Chain A
Amino acid sequence: MKTGSKKKGARTGTERAAPRLIALGGGKGGIGKTFLAANLSVALSRLGLEVVAVDADLEGSNLHTCLGVEPPPMSLADFVADREVDVGKLAAATSIPNLRLIAATHANLWSPQPSDEQRVALVGHLRKLPADIVLIDLGAGTHPAVMDYYLSADEGVVVFAPEPTSVENGYSFMRAAFYRGMHRWMSDEPLRDLIAQAMDQHNERGIRTPLDLLRAARALDPAGGRRLEKLVHRLRPRIILNEARSATDIKMGFAIKSVCLKYFGIEADYLGYVNHDDVVRKSVLARKPLVLSHPKSDAAIYVGRIARKLAAGSFRSKAVRPKARSNAPAPTHRKL
């Protein structure tokens, strides 16, 4: 999403390609973002990819819990407090091969969030991590920090649950990403102004929708407007529908994809769905990722499918090859 350019560079001994940054958000709290981030990280690492899971939710950190690992001694909080400037050092090994965790535990209760400069530095550090995939678990809401990570990532995943509250917040999240992204990536001042005005949802220009904005931009400056229309393509949300209970719920993913096209003018991908499954709760209670504790549950199988789709991007680039299956840790390992 950030640059649209494919990273190159063979992984020959010392050199390796930069990791893919994948941010996972969704606006609404409690819809399974962290559950998915944890289990996708594990599933991806079991496909042979080196994964760093990052808990970016400094105010509600629990990725370590979903992963079933003890809170590491150091966390992003130490980076925010300037006690550790090298984010790479915060990536703690887990009991799961190929998977490391940057936790967000023991955040400062007075001011948990990193400054703007720290956020930029953080993303820069994440890009330099020696890994194939860096998966970032975002907190709920559309806090500027959340949107910053989302827009800086190479790919953004938006989680929906089939209920109006989640749908509403999911679209708010996309709306925030749209306007902030356009504002961030557009260089022409007059158009940036226009975008900033449009972010006020009761703006005087009567810009109500993303397409209104593109139309207004075209009217203001045809060439700049066209540049803006191109920038829109950088946003390509990957949708996951969590807690599906019926075929109607599952179909909603396609409907959201269509709405993205017709409302935002952006192409979205429906990565897949995960059913509502009571074993999810059991696995959280047991502090063990579902894909390890109940690998044959439907939910784990669906998570596995999504992981394979995500992994496809890494396997395709020649720089990264899945490791031989013999390297896989657990005897139960199988291609889901």
Chain B
Amino acid sequence: MKSILDQNFYELLEVQPDAPTDEIERAYQIAHSTYDTGSLALYSVFEEGDAVVLRERLDTAYRVLSDSASRREYDAAIAAECAEVDLEANGNNGGSVGPLEIELELPLEIEFEAEAEPQIIASSSVELGEFDDFEDDPEDTVYDGDRLRRARLRRELELEHIASITKITPTYLSFLEEDRFDDLPAPVYVRGFVTAYARCVGLDPALVARSYMERFESTAPPKRSRKKNLFARS
């Protein structure tokens, strides 16, 4: 276990050494708000001096890792130091733990199914008055496009985020939300879309899919044509 002073920049930002730039960006933003002065999560733990040091380290880590040239240089430096540590460890069997030893983290074991939580953090802040109005869905709630949208907005998720998680294009996602049944593809796909969407916004996928598909299939348009131009309708 290392003190914050021993951690390398990747560990400090809590990203993998091969994290792409946008992930580093995101990780830094998260860390920045976590360790910001006045952050509730910091209350009563770090003494101010320690928090200042930590913030400076985070800034440095970000500065180095967000620039590809300086990141390459840094990677090379770590690799060299790691090799040295290895040599030492092999040489004088079991010497002291080097500061750059990378500990293997145990994988999180409790992932049961893909959940939407981690995405919330990436969402931009949509200010919403209705956030506090948590709906108490009655037994026979109809999960229509509106209900889906509300669930999404309450979690401050952008369509693009849902798209990136579900790999469903934002266009189709917005058709789902607008109940544009004519523009949506065959039921089997729509069921998949709705299920994935529901999971993302924290609704019960089975329940939502059942309700949505009921409406979708009962209002089957005369010709739900596949040739239809996706962007034809307003």
Q: Does A309 touch B at the CB level, under 8 Å?
A: yes
For residue B97, which residues in chain A have a CB less than 8 angstroms away from its CB?
218, 226
Q: Contact between A305 and B202 (Cβ–Cβ < 8 Å)?
A: yes
Q: Does A129 touch B at the CB level, under 8 Å?
A: no
Q: Contact between B45 and A247 (Cβ–Cβ < 8 Å)?
A: no
For residue B39, which residues in chain A have a CB less than 8 angstroms away from its CB?
255
Q: Contact between B136 and A171 (Cβ–Cβ < 8 Å)?
A: no
Q: Contact between A309 and B137 (Cβ–Cβ < 8 Å)?
A: no
Binds B, one of A9-17, A94-102, A161-169: A161-169
Q: Contact between B156 and A247 (Cβ–Cβ < 8 Å)?
A: yes
Q: Contact between B106 and A267 (Cβ–Cβ < 8 Å)?
A: yes
B181, chain A: closest CB distance, angstroms: 25
Q: Does A270 touch B at the CB level, under 8 Å?
A: yes
Q: How far is the CA of A194 from the CA of B206 in the complex (A)?
A: 55
Q: How far is the CA of A309 from the CA of B117 in the complex (A)?
A: 13
Binds B, one of A69-77, A83-91, A146-154, A292-300: A292-300
Residues 233-257 of A, flagged 1 when their CB comes within 8 A of B and 0 if not, give 1000000000001110011101110
For B204, the closest partner residue in chain A by CB is A336
Residue in A162, A246, A301 whose CB lies within 8 Å of B202: A301
Q: Contact between B54 and A262 (Cβ–Cβ < 8 Å)?
A: yes
Q: How far is the CA of A168 from the CA of B46 in the complex (A)?
A: 11
Interface size class of B (residues with CB under 8 A): 35 or more
Q: Does B23 touch A at the CB level, under 8 Å?
A: no
Q: Contact between B43 and A168 (Cβ–Cβ < 8 Å)?
A: yes
Binds A, one of B79-87, B108-116, B171-179, B220-228: B108-116
Q: Contact between A168 and B202 (Cβ–Cβ < 8 Å)?
A: no
For residue A311, which residues in chain B have a CB less than 8 angstroms away from its CB?
112
- Whether A294 touches B131, Cβ cut-off 8 Å, given contacts A251-B120, A272-B117, A302-B202, is no
For residue A332, which residues in chain B have a CB less than 8 angstroms away from its CB?
139
Residue in A164, A254, A279, A312 whose CB lies within 8 Å of B30: A254
- Whether A313 touches B106, Cβ cut-off 8 Å, given contacts A226-B97, A263-B46, A298-B135, is no
Residue in A229, A299, A309, A313 whose CB lies within 8 Å of B1: A229
- Whether A258 touches B139, Cβ cut-off 8 Å, given contacts A209-B50, A214-B1, A299-B134, is no
**Interface size on A (CB < 8 Å)?**
62
Q: Does B14 touch A at the CB level, under 8 Å?
A: yes
Q: How far is the CA of A332 from the CA of B139 in the complex (A)?
A: 9
Residue in A252, A263, A296 whose CB lies within 8 Å of B40: A252
Q: How far is the CA of A210 from the CA of B137 in the complex (A)?
A: 45
User: Which B residues, 102 to 154, have Cβ-Cβ distances below 8 Å to chain A?
Assistant: 105-106, 108-113, 115, 117, 120-121, 123, 125, 131-132, 134-139, 141
For residue A222, which residues in chain B have a CB less than 8 angstroms away from its CB?
96
A250, chain B: closest CB distance, angstroms: 6
For residue A252, which residues in chain B have a CB less than 8 angstroms away from its CB?
40-41
Q: Contact between A208 and B47 (Cβ–Cβ < 8 Å)?
A: yes
Q: Contact between B134 and A265 (Cβ–Cβ < 8 Å)?
A: no
For A256, the closest partner residue in chain B by CB is B41
Q: Contact between A301 and B203 (Cβ–Cβ < 8 Å)?
A: yes
Q: Contact between B41 and A277 (Cβ–Cβ < 8 Å)?
A: no
Q: Does A64 touch B at the CB level, under 8 Å?
A: no
Q: Does B155 touch A at the CB level, under 8 Å?
A: yes
Instruction: List chain A positions with a Cβ less than 8 A from chain B.
Output: 162-164, 167-168, 171-172, 208-209, 211, 214-215, 218, 222, 226, 229, 232-233, 245-247, 250-252, 254-256, 258-259, 261-263, 265, 267, 269-273, 275-277, 279, 294, 296-299, 301-302, 305, 308-313, 316, 332, 334-336
Q: A247-B131, A311-B112 are in contact. List 8 more A-B contacts (CB 8 A).
A: A167-B40, A211-B1, A232-B1, A247-B120, A255-B39, A265-B3, A312-B111, A312-B112
